[in-house]
Structure 1
Amino acid sequence: MTIVVILVFFTLALLGMPLAFALGLASLGGLLAGGIELSVLPQRMMHAVDSFPLMAIPLFMLAGELMVRAGIMKRMIHFANALVGRVHGGLAHVAIVAGMMLAAVSGAAVASASALGSTLVPAMRKTYDDGYSSAVVASAANLGAIIPPSNAMIVYALMAGSAVSVGGLFMAGVVPGILLTLGFMTVASVLSVKRGFKLTGDAFSFRTAAIEAWRALPVLAMPVVVVGGIVGGVFTPTEGAGIAVAYAVIVGFCVTRELKISDLAPALFQAAIGAAMVGALIAFAAGVTFLFTIDMVPAAMADFLQGVSDNPTVFLVLVMSLLIVVGMFIESNAAYIMLVPLFAPVAGTFGIDPLLFGFLFVFNLVIGMMTPPVGVVLFVMSGITRVKMAALIRNVWPYVAVQYAVLILCLIFPGIVTWLPRALGY
C-alpha cells in the first residue's frame, strides 16, 4: 500500500495537481489497494482537523493581515530606517530588520513576503536592480517561519504529538533567527560594497531613533505579550493567537487609526484562504499518515537507518540531506504532514533531543521555500514584483547559503537551538 500511495502522490504532484487533491487521491488509492473500508478516509480527515491547537494558524494569519492593514508596516519601516538606513546596503538592511519585526507578528513566510514585497520593493528599485531587491525581501520574509510565533512550528508540533511543545519550538527559533538576521545583513553589506550601491537614508540620530521606537512600540510589544504569554504558560498558543487578533484590532482602531471597518472582510477572507489551504493539506494527508502507520513504515525506517548506523549524528545528517531534496520539490506543509510522523518517532529511538530535531526539521523545509523548482516564497515574490524567476534565483543564492550555514551551525552546536528553551524549562 505504501508504494501505491507514494507513486500516486508523486505522479499527480508532478502533473501539476494541487497537493491537497494529490494527497487525497493517493490515500484513496492506498485504501483500495489494501482492501480497507473507504469510510476510514473521511473519519481520519475529520479527526486530523478537529484540533484546538490547529486553530492558532488561521488566527495568527488574521492577526498578521490586520496588522498590515493597520499601517503597522509604515512604522516598522521608519523605525528600521532610523536604525540602519545610513550604512552600506541601507535599504536592504531596512528590509531585513522590518522582516524580522514582521516575523514576530505574521508567523508565516508567505504572508511576510506579500506585505514586504508590496511596500518595500518599489522604494528599493530606485537604488538596486529588480532581481536583487526581490531577493533581499524574499530572504527577509523567510524569517517569518523561524522567529516566533511560527505557523510551521505549530504544524510540526501537531504532527509530532506530545513529544514536543509549541512553546519550546518557538523559543528554539529565537537564537537561530537572530543569527539569520545578522547573516543576511552581513551579506547585504558585502554585496553593497562589491556592487557599488550608493548610501541611502539619513545619518543615525538617537533622537530620531527614539521617536521612531516610540511610534513602533505597539508593534514591538505584541510579540512580547503573545509569545511571552505562551512561553510563560499564561495561555495556550491558540488563546495567544486570539489575543494577537484582539491586539491587532485595538492597535489598528485606537493607536494607528488606519484600520477601517471595510478592511475586516478582506482580512478575514485572506486569512480564510490561507487557513483552508493548510487545513485541506492536513486533512487529506491524514489518510496517507494512517496508511504509513498500519504498514509499519516508521518501524521499518528505524530498522533501516539503525542498520546503516547507530550514530545519532549520522541519522541527523541523513535526514537533513533528504529534507534538502524534499524541500526543493514538495510544499512545506505537505512535507511536515507526510514526514514528521515517520521521522520524529525514529529520532526518538536514536535519543535525539525532540526540540533539536523538530527545529532542524522545520528550518530545513523553511529554506526549501526559497529553493527552486518549488520555492513558494520565490513564486510569491515573482508574482508581486513581476521580476523574472531567473533573475530572482540568481540573486537569492547568497542568502540561501547563509541559511544553510546557520543550519549546519545548529547541527554542529545544538546549544544554539536548545539553550534558550531549556533555560525556560522546556
Structure 2
Amino acid sequence: MSLIVIFLFLGLAALGMPLAFSLGVSALGGLVLSGFDLAVLPPRIMNSVNSFPLMSIPLFMVTGELMLKGGIMERLVDFANAFVGRVRGGLAQVALLSGAGLASVSGAAVADASALSATLVPSLKKQYGLGFSTGIVAAAANLGPIIPPSGAMIVYAFMAGSSVSVGGMFMAGVIPGLILVLVLMSLCWLISYVRDYPLVGEKVSLSNILHQLRRSFVVFMMPIVVIGGIVGGAFTPTEGAAVGVVYALLLGFFVTRRLRLADLPGVLLQAAKTSAIVGAMIAYASTVTFLFTIDLLPMQLAGFVNQLTESPTMFLILVALMLIVVGMFLESNAAYIMLVPLFHPIAITYGIDPLHFGFLFVFNLVIGMLTPPVGVVLFVVCGITGVKMGELVRESWPFIVAMYVLLIICMFVPGIVTWLPHRLGY
C-alpha cells in the first residue's frame, strides 16, 4: 500500500499537478485502498497543523517580505560593496555578500532569488553578461535556507520531532554557511580571472566601511536579536519570528522609510500564499505518514538499509545519493515532509548525531533547488530575468559542484556542523 501511495504522489507531481493536491489525492487514495474509515482524515489533518511551532513559518515569511519592501537590498549592496573593493569579479562578490546578508533576514531561497534577480542582475549583466550574472544570483539565493533563520530547517525540525530543535538546526548552519560564502566568492574570483572580466569597484576605504557599517547596523541587528533570542532561550522560534515582524515594521517605517501602509496587504497576501502551500503539504503528509506507519514502512525500510550496510558513513552516502536524485525531481518542502519521518529515526539507530544528519539532509535538498529539471530557484531566476534555462544551468554548474564538495566535506568532518550547536548546549 505504501508503495502505491508513493508512486501515485510521484505520478501526479510528474504530470505537473500542484504538490499539495498530489499529496492530498495520494493520502485519500491510500485510505481508500487500505479500507480505513475516511472519517479519520479530518481530525488527523487538523491536529497536524494545529501546532504553535509551525506559526514561525508564516511569521518568518512576513518578516522577509517586509525587509524586502523596506529597502533592505540597497543597504546590503552598499555594505557589501564597501568590503569588496577593486578585485576580479568584484560586482559578483558584492552579489554573493548581499545574498548572505539577505539570507540572514529572510531564510527562503525563492524570496531571495526574486529580490536579487530584480535588483542586481541589471548591473551585473553589463559587466559579465546575462548567463554568468544569473548563475551568481541563483547561487547567492541558495544561501537563504542554509544561513539562519531558515524556513527549511524549521520544517525539518518539526517533521523530525523532539530529537531536533529549531535553534540547534539554526546553529548547525552557521559555520557551513560562512564557509560556503567564502567558497563561492573564491570561485567567482577564479572564473572572473580565467575569463578576464574587467576590474570594477573602488579601493577599500576604512571611512567608507565605517559609514556603511553605521548605516546598516540596525539591519544586521535584526538577525542578532531574533536568532540570539532563540538560541539564548529568551523566546521560542515562533515568538522570535513575531519579534522579527515587529522589528521589520519599525525598520521599514522609521529607519529606511521605504515601507508604506499600502505595501502591507501585498506582503501579507504573498506570505499567506506560501504558508498555505506549506501548511497544506504538512496537513496531507500527516495522513501519508500515518499510512506508512500502519504499513510498517519505516521498520521495513530500516531493515532493508541494515541489510545493505551496518556502517553509519555508508548510510549517509546512500541517503545523500538518494537525495541528489530526489532533489532533481521533487520540490524540497515535499521531500522534507515525505522523507524526514522515514530516514531520521533510522539515522538515530545508526548513532548519527541528529543535527549532523539534519543539516546534511537540508543542504542536499537545498542544492536540489539549483538542479534541473525541477530546480525552483532556476525557474524563478529565469522568469524574472528572461535568461534561457540552458544558459543558466550551464553557468550554475560550477557553483553546484562547489556546494556538493562542501556537502561531502561536512559529511566526513561532522565537527564543521556540530561544533557550534554542541558548544551552545544543543
Bin the TM-score by the shorter chain: over 0.9
TM-score w.r.t. the length of structure 2 is 0.99
Mapped partners of 1:328, 1:150: distance in 2: 21
The equivalent of 1:73 in structure 2 is 73
How many angstroms does 1:85 deviate by? 4.0
Mapped partners of 1:275, 1:3: distance in 2: 28
Deviations 1:239-285 (A, max 9, x none): 00000000000011111111111111111111111111111111121
Mapped partners of 1:160, 1:404: distance in 2: 24
The equivalent of 2:271 in structure 1 is 271
The equivalent of 1:112 in structure 2 is 112
Moved more, 224-233 or 191-200: 191-200
The equivalent of 1:152 in structure 2 is 152
Deviations 1:203-230 (A, max 9, x none): 1101011101111111111111000000
The equivalent of 2:335 in structure 1 is 335
The equivalent of 2:304 in structure 1 is 304
The equivalent of 1:191 in structure 2 is 191
Alignment-mate amino acid for residue 237 of structure 1 = P
Instruction: Give the secondary-structure state (helix, strand or coil) at the position aligned to 1:201.
Output: coil
Q: How does 1:103-142 map to 2 (within 5 A)?
A: 103-142=103-142
Deviations 1:365-407 (A, max 9, x none): 0000000000000001001111110000000000001110110
Instruction: Give the secondary-structure state (helix, strand or coil) at the position aligned to 1:162.
Output: coil
- Verify: 1:350 aligned to 2:378, yes or no: no
Deviations 1:121-154 (A, max 9, x none): 1111110111110110110010000000000000
The equivalent of 2:367 in structure 1 is 367
Alignment-mate amino acid for residue 36 of structure 2 = I
The equivalent of 2:224 in structure 1 is 224
Alignment-mate amino acid for residue 107 of structure 1 = G
Deviations 1:293-340 (A, max 9, x none): 111111111111111111111111111110110011000000000000
Mapped partners of 1:16, 1:355: distance in 2: 33
Instruction: Give the secondary-structure state (helix, strand or coil) at the position aligned to 1:32.
Output: helix
Instruction: Give the secondary-structure state (helix, strand or coil) at the position aligned to 2:126.
Output: coil
Moved more, 231-240 or 252-261: 252-261
Mapped partners of 1:227, 1:135: distance in 2: 29
Say whether the 8 Å CA contact 1:85–1:94 is kept in structure 2. no
Say whether the 8 Å CA contact 1:85–1:91 is kept in structure 2. no
The equivalent of 2:321 in structure 1 is 321
Runs of 4+ in 1 over 6 A off after TM superposition: none
Alignment-mate amino acid for residue 182 of structure 1 = L
The Cα RMSD (Å) is 0.8
Mapped partners of 1:87, 1:335: distance in 2: 40
Alignment-mate amino acid for residue 291 of structure 1 = L
Alignment-mate amino acid for residue 189 of structure 1 = W
Instruction: Give the secondary-structure state (helix, strand or coil) at the position aligned to 2:219.
Output: helix
Mapped partners of 2:126, 2:274: distance in 1: 32
Mapped partners of 2:390, 2:384: distance in 1: 15
Say whether the 8 Å CA contact 1:104–1:223 is kept in structure 2. yes
Q: How does 1:58-97 map to 2 (within 5 A)?
A: 58-97=58-97
- Verify: 1:49 aligned to 2:68, yes or no: no
How many angstroms does 1:90 deviate by? 0.6
Say whether the 8 Å CA contact 1:60–1:106 is kept in structure 2. yes
Mapped partners of 1:93, 1:3: distance in 2: 46
Mapped partners of 2:42, 2:9: distance in 1: 18
Mapped partners of 1:3, 1:193: distance in 2: 51
Alignment-mate amino acid for residue 100 of structure 1 = A
Alignment-mate amino acid for residue 132 of structure 1 = F
Moved more, 415-424 or 124-133: 124-133
The equivalent of 2:259 in structure 1 is 259
Say whether the 8 Å CA contact 1:88–1:198 is kept in structure 2. yes
Alignment-mate amino acid for residue 424 of structure 1 = L
How many angstroms does 1:46 deviate by? 1.2
Mapped partners of 1:298, 1:88: distance in 2: 51
Q: Percent of aligned positions with the same letter in both sequences?
A: 60
Deviations 1:1-41 (A, max 9, x none): 11210121111111111111111111111111110111222
Moved more, 264-273 or 146-155: 264-273
Deviations 1:342-371 (A, max 9, x none): 001111111111010111011100000000
The equivalent of 2:22 in structure 1 is 22
Say whether the 8 Å CA contact 1:132–1:392 is kept in structure 2. yes
TM-score w.r.t. the length of structure 1 is 0.99
Alignment-mate amino acid for residue 163 of structure 1 = S
The equivalent of 1:242 in structure 2 is 242
Instruction: Give the secondary-structure state (helix, strand or coil) at the position aligned to 1:39.
Output: helix
Instruction: Give the secondary-structure state (helix, strand or coil) at the position aligned to 1:257.
Output: coil
Alignment-mate amino acid for residue 362 of structure 2 = V
